[in-house]
């Protein structure tokens, strides 16, 4: 039995198309865990994307990090439902 591990660029190597995000003319809700918001590797890229999107609203998930779907699915679910309600 052999195992193949595929790797790709990490989040630190990803360069988002901030100009492209800036052209999105629709309301957008960005979700971020409060524990990840100001820390690498997630915080700085998230802040750049949020700043680039003129109609973005940031919803913070209290007490959550990058894995809110595992550690706080109820918190994540509430935030998604609120975003969908507008």
**Predicted local distance difference test score (pLDDT) of residue 86:** 81
> Which domain covers residue 65, as residue numbers?
17-85
- The more confident residue out of 41 and 27 is 27
Question: Structure pTM?
Answer: 0.78
Total domains in the chain come to 1
Nearest to 18 by CA among 44, 55, 50: 50
Q: Is residue 76 part of a domain?
A: yes
d(CA 44, CA 68): 18
Q: Is residue 59 part of a domain?
A: yes
Residue 41: which pLDDT band, with cuts at 50, 70 and 90?
Answer: confident
């Amino acid at each position: 039995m052999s195992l193949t591990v595929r790797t790709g660029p990490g989040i630190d190597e990803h360069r988002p198309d901030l100009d492209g995000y800036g052209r999105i003319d629709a309301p957008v809700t960005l979700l971020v865990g409060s524990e990840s918001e100001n820390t690498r590797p997630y915080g700085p890229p998230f802040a750049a994307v949020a700043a680039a999107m003129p109609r973005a609203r940031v919803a913070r998930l209290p007490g959550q990090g990058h894995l809110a779907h595992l550690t706080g699915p109820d918190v994540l679910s509430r935030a998604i439902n609120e975003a969908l309600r507008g």
